[in-house]
Amino acid sequence: MLQLSTALGTKSSKLIGFSTHLVHRDSFESPLYDSSINQSELVERVILRSSSRLSYLKSLLQLPNNDTEEISSIDSRIEGISGDYLMEISIGTPPVMQWAVLDIASDIVWTQCLKCVQCYKQTQPKFNPMKSSSYQPIRCDAKKCKQLGEFINCIDPSSNCKYQLVYGDESYSFGELATETFKLGNTYLPEMVYGCSNNNDGLFKKTNAGIVGLGNGPNSLISRLHRSIPRKFSYCLTDASKGNAKSKIDIGANAIVSSRDSISTPLVLMKPPDFYYITLKAISIQNMRLPITGVTKISLKGNKFGAPKGNAFIDTGTTLTYLHDDIYYELEEELISMIQDSPIPSQSSLKLCYKNSKNFQFPTIIFHFSRGANLTLQMKNTIVPYRGQLCLAILPIDENLVILGNILQMNHMIGFDLERRKVSFLPNYC
């Protein structure tokens, strides 16, 4: 699938790009696939993963966590940093293949490595830096180390850079920061920033080696690319219920960030955290438009945001979509008034549910982003089937922000152009 076979160590005037596949954790091709889990149990796990992920994201935003429920009723191993899409990446020379979670809200690529002080059980072979000719520790006085900010754990400037990542569910990853060669398909990426994690504990899955961070931070995969690779990426997430349907990610010149049929909206970058924000201006249901107004601005480590600028961020690791309480309940009220059937009590923590019938009609929902980017959502982007019910895949939170989850994103090619600072949506492209 990849369209390049090279080590990016030579000078070239040609812009380089490459493409590969993502695997949904519940699809047949995933190392996490469990044939004994039925559809209802999968939805239960989706809800729990979203709740845990929300807790983690709010910890990064330094916001109080009053929304999530206890995550113990179904699967005590659900992990807050988990994402729904896995990416195959090889580390080192010679390369060691690893399955790791794609996370566009993270700023580092890390996997478990030897020698372990403490490691969680892992079915894949752990990376051994002693057997890699391209592994090079980063010193504490190096810029790449200092860019980690509060996550640094250095003894003195001449020592090797150590990092400490602590997640919202109290899972942690401690290790050494180094430069290393990554391999994606047939493409070699030398001197990438890599977290060699040898002290980990918490709610990690044994089939997941670590995290592939694709956020806007200085040490993420997209930020550390060779100068011949444009800082762009795009992905198209497919529905896991389709079995072996593959999702696709394009990086560099291959990324689809604009086309005749795409819509675009400005990308709002704030540091920290290193999320990708866009601005949600209104939500429409049929012909009823609900403006996003009157949102009180909140502070994020020195940054202020709220309607109408940078009030929503896109996240591949969150399954459901979250809206501020006031926005959500106004949306829910309008939906109830438009849907002829009466809502029924939910059998899960989802809020608005109806009986699943062939004749059930759900109104079209449109998210209106800034600069006239109107994203029309299909029913599969807004509804989750569960135990004979059809439930709204959107939940309320008590903070003034919007989290756009991966169900809402499915079957759209979503492009991130970090150079021109825009996000594009191309419907039905997968």
Contact, 406 vs 339, CB < 8 A?
no
Terminal Cα distance for the chain, rounded: 15
Helices then strands, counting H and E runs in the chain, come out as 5, 30
> Interior CA angle at 75 toward 69 and 81, to 5°?
70
Looking at residue 112, its amino acid is Q
Distance, CA of 99 to CA of 104 (rounded, Å): 16
Tokens describing residue 393: 């895949």
Of 185, 206, 189, 192, the closest CA to residue 248 belongs to 185
Q: Which of 26, 84, 103, 250 is catalytic?
A: 103
Identified catalytic residue from 26, 250, 315, 417: 315
Distance separating alpha carbons of residues 360 and 354, to the nearest angstrom: 9
**67 annotated active-site:** no
Concerning whether 103 is annotated as a catalytic residue, the answer is yes
Neighbours of 15 (CB within 10 A): 13
57: which residues sit within 8 A by CB, 6+ positions away? Answer: 105, 168, 315, 318, 403
Q: Quickly tell me which residue has 């709002």 as its tokens.
A: 268
Q: How far apart are CA 54 and CA 318, in angstroms?
A: 7
The token duo for 182 is 């990554």
d(CA 48, CA 75): 8
Residue 311 and residue 298: Cα distance in Å, rounded? 10
The amino acid at residue 10 is T
CA distance 377 to 94: 45
At residue 220's C-alpha, the angle toward residues 217 and 224, to 5°, is: 105
Which positions are catalytic?
Answer: 103, 315
